[in-house]
């Protein structure tokens, strides 16, 4: 009984969680086209992804280099 209750709670969270979470704030103009008195779309609210992409590429290269090093270390037996 306890296990079924736990599964129901986890499933309910996984179903309703994404509905309650917002990834970004609502549109500043309420969905209207930017005009003279409206906030421009983008600009200061844009996400700076350049640094994050460079970081992920660097970490991926380091991980790949480590894997290649480990494969060579186990494949070649040095005397």
Return the DSSP state at 24. S
Question: From CA 75, how far away is CA 6, in angstroms rounded?
Answer: 46
What pTM was estimated for this model as a whole?
A: 0.37
Residue-wise pLDDT tens digits, 17-70: 887 776 666 666 666 666 666 555 555 555 566 777 888 999 999 999 999 998
79 in any annotated domain: yes
pLDDT at 41: 57
15 in any annotated domain: no
User: How many structural domains compose the chain?
Assistant: 1
With 80 as the cut, is the pLDDT of residue 9 above it?
A: yes
CB atoms inside a 10 Å sphere around CB 46: 8
CB atoms inside a 10 Å sphere around CB 28: 14
Domain range spanning residue 66?
Answer: 50-79
Question: From CA 58, how far away is CA 67, in angstroms rounded?
Answer: 14
34 in any annotated domain: no
Query: How far out from the chain centre does Cα 22 lie?
Result: 14
């Amino acid at each position: 009984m306890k296990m079924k209750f736990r599964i129901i709670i986890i499933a309910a969270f996984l179903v309703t969680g994404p509905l309650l979470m917002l990834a970004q704030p609502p549109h500043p103009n309420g969905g209207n086209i930017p005009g003279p008195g409206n906030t421009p779309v983008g600009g200061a609210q844009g996400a700076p992804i350049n640094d994050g992409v460079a970081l992920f590429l660097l970490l991926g290269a380091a991980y790949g280099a480590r894997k290649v090093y480990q494969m060579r270390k186990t494949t070649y037996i040095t005397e």
